[in-house]
Structure formats: structure tokens, C-alpha cells
Chains A and B, each alone.
Chain A
Amino acid sequence: MAEKLTRESLDALRARLEAENKQAESGGLKYVMVCGGTACDSNGGLALYAALVKAAEYAGANVRIVRTGCMGFCERGPIVKVLPDDTFYVDVKPEDAAAIINEHIVNGQVVTRLLYDKSQAEAGNAGHDIDFYAKQQRIVLRHCGVIDPEKIEDYIAHDGYAGLEKALFEMTPQGIIDEILASGLRGRGGAGFPTGKKWQFSAAVEADQKYIVCNADEGDPGAYMDRSTLEGDPHAILEAMMIAGRATGATKGYIYIRAEYPLAIKRLQIAIDQAREWGLLGCDNILGSDFTFDIELRFGAGAFVCGEETALLASIEGKRGQPTPRPPFPAVKGLWGKPTIINNVETLANVAVIITKGAKWFSSIGTATSKGTKVFALTGKVKNSGLIEVPMGITLREIIFDIGGGIPNGRKFKAAQTGGPSGGMIPPEYLDMPIDYESLAKIGSIVGSGGLIVMDDTDCIVDVAKFYLEFTVDESCGKCMPCRIGGRALLNALTRISEGRGVPEDIQKMQDICQAMARASLCGLGQTASNPVQAMLRYFMDEVMAHINDKRCPAGKCKKLVQYRINPERCVGCTMCARVCPVGAIAGKVREKHVIDPAKCVKCGQCYNTCKLHAIEIA
């Protein structure tokens, strides 16, 4: 049982932990950092960790095995990093544990076959030289891959709770707000509202009770930035919520987290319990000051609209998560009618370092209007998919081609989607535009919470827009007409077009609906739901018209528009296709060329999947 920390004992503890680590390292201690993020864990990472611990014990090696949060390079996981050598191993299997311990840790020989770039056999240069990391800058993810997220001592030894200390003893509440204002930090949950300004609103209201809420509902259906941050560095969020509490006069915090994130929930609960045990949370006089704060978890239940502020608050209150009109804004009248600050996970992850390192340092990173970094979940048709953190102002080309390694299988880049269902597809002509709030808004997308999906020429824009509309129609709470009816009408039009039943008039119709939804919907879901369609109409008109006029899907994705044909050069007459065809559309005798009757074919694709010689082609 730990004693209750004071400012002095926390400082002493941090100094002691740092000294112990230094001493151990000079005595030759090595660290084997094993990625414990969701992707690596589920790809054999858990067994790998156990195997490493066992091998280290058996060899009696001077090593600490640490399970960390996501290191970002999920595509090549499980990932193992050896420190201080900075050796980076990829695709590591449990069977490789003995080699890492015996060859590398005990004998000092790098296990060449596990390196990302096998030519870099030298230890010490392998990590940084990987293209995937070269252009990244880790502020939000500063502790992911560096500390054991289930150990508060690790966090404290890495400047943990130093921001809270400074906020409590060296700054006034207004001083904290001024610092955040000066840093230029803007909300990372989507809208980009200045964080300091939001805090100021709540601080200005007199109330007997105020709340800080962390939005960890991460609803974008192809993104996992917040999840990884919480899994890799849970204490950073607790610390930031406390600093926000001090700045605004709030004493109670809630983290609203998706129930679909069991590992993040587990690590947050461990962090909360540890912080309480050390007297950093859930008690009066935190660190010997006059500050009181406590934090509880509340689970979301699979409703995208609950990421919206007012719906989220309704859900915490135990109700159906339906939005209500703003104003009043939650900062003035929020949870149970009390002033409530709602901040996104990534926004909060920036707070403690801004306090310790200062607004000046933070605002030196990024562009004129968008400061700091942004975390993206880079996925889709890109060679190195994973979690990346880049300075604002970087270009899409740098992200996709330098960090992501370009498009796999020799295909061509077609579009990138930021902002998920609330964003728009970005065409190739904007690859060199800097990424910041204003630039992306200008071309009809948004920075969004951090999903970044790359599409190649086999992806159909109509199909992708339809995918997003299916999502928003499904997730609309149904409270207001424009969103409920408009979304459905857009989806119907897209479905018609993708099935070859579209008419030229559909274009104008869709444009009108988009306008109405953006203008008249009650909440952000409806207001932004038409963005994918608007981007489609703005940048990919040729492709849309091919569907409408020529009844053709250039990407070959819309099944109803596809023509199946048998290439006579390849067909050997095995009869497999004719046997699987459910409607008898394929004619041909054994060992003779087969032919598809397009009039009978229902385009089920079964023959295409069956033919082992790839004689069936899509036109």
C-alpha cells in the first residue's frame, strides 16, 4: 500500500526512479519492449510476451521485459524494440523469443532475420532509419511504446504528473487557461474548437458543481487513435482531466468510453485505481494542495451519435442518446444542468506536456492556425498501415508515400478520406496541400478525428459514398427530418446508381438534398453526413456519369454493373463454372471453351471465384 503522495514525495519518487533506471542502464540493463496494442496482441503478441519473460528468466538475463501500448507499425506486428540499442524487430513470433534473449540480450548479437530492413544489421540505427518513423513526431503518443501503461511508476519516471504539479503549485487557474490558449491547441475530436476558449467559458460560470468529460467514444468506423492512446498511456488522460478541473473549478470527471474497447477500459481502470491509491485522485488535498478531483468510467453502447456532445451527456445520464439543440452549450449548461467541458482523448493527451514544456514550445510546431501534431490511423490501400503522428502542415503525399510506403500491388492512388463519414474524399490533385483545419475545410473535407483511408483504382467512389451513407442512415437517431429523410433519399439514389438504374436527374436531386441536410439538420451527424456525396459530385463526376450513362463501374466494384466474360485463351473446359452457376448461364462441353450468356447472368460472381485458371474476367 502506497503512502499518499505530496508534492515533495512525488518529486523525490520521480528523482529516485530516474536514478534507479540510470544506474541499472549503466550496469548493462536492457529493455525488451513488446507491443501490447490490440493488433499485436491479437496477432500472437500475448504469447510472445510470455515466451520472452520465460526465456529471460531461464537465461538469467539482465533485462526488463515491458508490455507497451501500440508502437504504430501494426502492419508488421508483433513489434519488439530493444533499448537502449534501439533495435526494431518486426513480425516476431513466440518462437523467436529465445533468439532475442540469447543472441541479442546475452551475447550482444542483433537477430538480423527479424529486422525490418535486413541490411541494417548494426544495432543503434535500425529504429530511426525506418521510413515509417522518419517523418513522425510523437507528442500525443510520447509514452506509447515507451512505458508499461499498467505501472504508474513508469509514468511518473517519464515526467508523469509533473504537469499537474506545476498547475497546482506554480500557476493560477486563469494562468492554466492562458497557457492553453497561447499554445493554440484546438479540439482533435473533429470540430477544431480552441480548447482554451472552451475552458474559459466554463471557468466564467458560477456553479456549485462542474464536470470534465473525456470523449472516448471514437465512432469513426475505421479509426483507432484514441483507443491506442488510452491503451498506451492512460495516466496522461487522467492528469489532463485534473488540470482541466483545476483550471475551471470542476471536481468530478467522467470518461465516456466505448464498451467495444475492453483493453482500454481495463488499463484505464487500473490507472484510476493506482492514482487513487497514491492519493492523486479521489481524495481531498491532492499532492498537499487544496484541490479535489475524482474520475469515473461510463460505457458507451454502440451509437455513433453519442459522440456528439449533447447526445453523449444524455447517455451518461442514462438516457437514449439523442442530441438537443445548442445553445445552451455544455460548457455553460451540461451534465445534469451543470457546466461541463467535453474534450476528446487526443486533445487531452496534449495538455500535460503543454503545461510542462510551455505554450511556446507547442506553438512552434505546426502551421499558423493549426498547432501541434495530429495522430492518424492510416489504413486502406497503403503498404504500411498503422498509427502515425505527424506535425500539422505535413502533406498527404508525405503521409501516404513516405510514411505509408505508397500503394501496394502496383496500383494507382485514387483518393484519401479523412474525417470518416463526416469527411470527403480527397482527389490526387490535392496530394501536396498541407494538412490543417482550414485547408481541408476548403476542399470539402475535415481533419476529423484521425481516420485516414487510402483508396486505389480498384475502389469505386460511388460504392464508398454508399458505404458511408449506409453508416450514417443506420446511425441517425431519427430525431430530425432532414437527417432522417435526407440521408435515406441519398442512400436510395446511390444504390440506384450503383445498380445501373441511375438517371442524370439524380445529380441535381442529390445536390439539393445535400444542401438541405447540411443546413437544416439538428446535430453534426446530419450536418456533415452529406460530405462524402458532395466530394463525390465535386471531384469524381466522370466516374458517377459512367455508372449513370454507360452503366459501367470503372473500378469493377459495383457487382450489378460488372460483365463477366470467359477468356477463351485461358478456358480449358473444366466445367467448374457451369456447375456452380445458379441460373445455368454458362454453356459449354467438357474440354471445350465455355461461354456466358449475358442475358441470363445474374452477376453473382460465383463462376469468377470458382475458376482456378482465372479464365473468367470482369469487364
Chain B
Amino acid sequence: MGQDERKTLTPELRAFIEEWKPKPGNLIMVLHRVQQTYGYMPREIVLELADLLGVPLAKIYGVITFYNFFKLKQPGRNLIQVCLGTACYLKGGDDIMKALEQELGVGVNTVTPDGEFSTEAVRCLGCCGLAPVIVINGEVFGKVTKAALPGILDKFRAKH
């Protein structure tokens, strides 16, 4: 999926919205489905949502921006999540984050120029025993060291 391609409402998403429309408090559940579908909140989809649900656009954006989980920008093809929960922090999670930023040449929450990677900080992935932990596209890497990072990244680069 290209970075700037215009997104259209998928039939599954439309059906989901119809199903949830009569339920009170549906907005956040619908937004979750949007992000699950596109990886972020495309503006054109949010506009359509406002119409379909009959909710003012300002209210929708008020909700999106309140919650950290919702992203306004499309992430890289490979999303790297670095755990900065307490256990991982104590075991050097912040150093891993810095090393990643150096390795990729971009800061946190920014996509690399080639569109391959973006990094985000998350909190406690529930495997503190493996701290420090990073997750790439859902795959967990535990007891990560700075030295191991380039090798791990290559694994994902090679896939394209």
C-alpha cells in the first residue's frame, strides 16, 4: 500500500459500521476497526465516518487525538515497537531506543525516507522477564542488545 494513496471504505468496514451504528458508545470501537484496516486513520475515511455515524468531525478528531493508540500518520512498512515499560527501562530500553534512532537515522514516530521502518514507544508488553523487549510487526524480540539490532533489522529489510 503506497504512502499517499487515497483510501476507500472497504466493504467489510462498511458492514462493521452498519452493525455498530445502533449501539451506544460505538465511536471508539469503529475507530479501532479503521486503524486495524489501514494501520492509521486516513483523513478521507474519517470524513466518511462522520457522515455515516452522524457525528461531528470535530468530535471524532477530539477522540482520536485524546487516545495514544490512534495514529494520524501512516507508519512504515515495518513497525518497530520499543518497550519503555518500567522493567524494560531499568534494563536499558531507552538505550535501545536511542540506538535504533541512530541506526535508522530518524527519530521516534517518524518513517524512514525509504518508507521501510518507523519506531514507536510502547509500555509493558507483558513479557518483562525478557526485558528489554522490542516488537517488529508483532514478532517479539527479548533480551535485546544494541549489538543485535542491525541483524534484527536486516531480517525485515530483506523481506522486500
Is B38 among interface residues, defined by CB-CB distance under 8 A? no
A193 at the interface (CB under 8 A from B): no
Tell me, in angstroms, the Cα distance from A321 to B70 when the chains sit together: 14
On chain A, the residues within 8 Å of B67 by CB distance are 301-303, 321
Choose among B26, B32, B90, B126 the residue that contacts A227 (Cβ–Cβ < 8 A).
Answer: B126
**B89 → chain A closest CB, angstroms:** 6
Give A68 Cβ to nearest chain B Cβ, in Å.
16
Q: Does B142 contact A (CB under 8 A)?
A: yes
Assembly CA distance A381 to B91 (angstroms): 8
Query: Is A318 within 8 A of B32, CB to CB?
Result: no
**Which residues of chain A (356-385) have a CB below 8 Å from chain B?**
377, 379-381, 385
Contact A385 B69 (CB under 8 A): no
On whether the beta carbons of A609 and B146 are closer than 8 Å, the reply is: yes
Q: Are B126 and A228 in contact (CB under 8 A)?
A: yes
Chain A nearest CB from B57 CB (Å) reads 15
Q: Which of A42, A385, A471 contacts B87 (CB 8 A)?
A: A385
Q: Hey, what's the 0/1 contact readout for B97-119 against A, CB within 8 Å counting as 1? A: 00000000000000000000000
Interface presence of B50 (CB below 8 A) = no
For the complex, what is the distance from the CA of A386 to the CA of B127, rounded to whole Å?
9
B124 A223 Cβ-Cβ under 8 A:
yes
Give complex CA distance A228, B126 in Å.
Answer: 8
CB-contact partner of B123 in A75, A221, A298, under 8 A: A221
A405 within 8 A of B: no
List residues of chain B with CB within 8 A of the CB of A228: 126
Asked whether B129 lies within 8 Å of A385 as measured between CB atoms, the reply is yes
Any A CB within 8 A of the CB of B76: no
Q: Which of B16-32 contact A (CB under 8 A)?
A: 24-29, 31-32
Q: Give bound CA distance, A151 to B32, whole Å.
A: 27
- In the complex, which residue of chain A has the Cβ closest to the Cβ of B86? A222
The answer to whether B69 touches A315, judged by C-beta atoms less than 8 angstroms apart, is no
A260 at the binding interface (Cβ < 8 Å): yes
In the assembled complex, the CB of A159 is this many whole angstroms from the nearest CB of chain B, namely 27
Is A318 within 8 A of B26, CB to CB? yes
B140 at the interface (CB under 8 A from A): yes
Tell whether B85 is near chain A: CB-to-CB under 8 Å: yes
Are B29 and A222 in contact, CB atoms less than 8 angstroms apart? no
Contacts of B129 in A (CB 8 A): 39, 74-75, 77, 379, 385-386
The residue of chain A having its C-beta at the shortest distance from the C-beta of B146 within the complex is A609
**Across-interface contacts of B124 in A (CB, < 8 A):** 220-224
A contact residues around B91 at 8 Å (CB): 380
Instruction: For A451, list chain B residues within 8 Å (CB).
Output: 86
Is B63 positioned at the interface, with any CB of A under 8 Å from its CB? yes
Do most interface residues of chain A lie in helix, strand or loop, or is the interface mixed?
mixed
> How far in angstroms is the closest Cβ of chain B from A217?
12
User: In chain A between 299 and 334, which residues have their CB closer than 8 angstroms to a CB of chain B?
Assistant: 299-303, 315-322
The reply on B79 being an interface residue by CB < 8 A is: no
Across the two chains, which residue of chain B brings its CB closest to A313?
B25
- Asked if B122 is at the interface of the complex by the 8 Å CB criterion, the answer is yes
B128-157 interface bits toward A, Cβ cutoff 8 Å, 1 = contact, 0 = none: 111100000001101000100000000000
- Residue-by-residue, is A227-239 near B (CB-CB < 8 Å gives 1, otherwise 0)? 1100000000000
User: Which has the most chain B C-beta neighbours within 10 Å: A221, A385, A451?
Assistant: A221
Verify B25–A303 contact, CB threshold 8 A: no
In the complex, A453 has a CB within 8 A of chain B: yes
Give the residues in chain B near A222, CB-CB below 8 Å.
Answer: 85-88, 123-124, 128
Report the Cα distance A465→B142, complex, angstroms: 25
29 contacts between A and B (CB under 8 A): A39-B130, A39-B142, A42-B130, A42-B140, A43-B130, A221-B84, A221-B124, A224-B126, A224-B128, A227-B126, A228-B126, A300-B69, A301-B28, A301-B31, A301-B32, A301-B70, A302-B67, A302-B69, A303-B67, A316-B25, A318-B24, A321-B66, A336-B24, A379-B86, A379-B128, A380-B90, A453-B87, A467-B86, A471-B123
Chain B residues with CB under 8 Å of chain A are 24-29, 31-32, 62-63, 66-70, 84-91, 122-131, 139-140, 142, 146
> A221-B86, A609-B146 provided; 13 other pairs, C-beta below 8 A?
A42-B127, A42-B139, A42-B140, A222-B85, A224-B127, A261-B126, A301-B67, A302-B67, A320-B62, A322-B66, A377-B128, A385-B87, A453-B86
Q: Ordered nearest first, which 6 A-B pairs have the shortest CB separation?
A: A222-B86, A42-B140, A301-B67, A302-B69, A74-B129, A302-B68
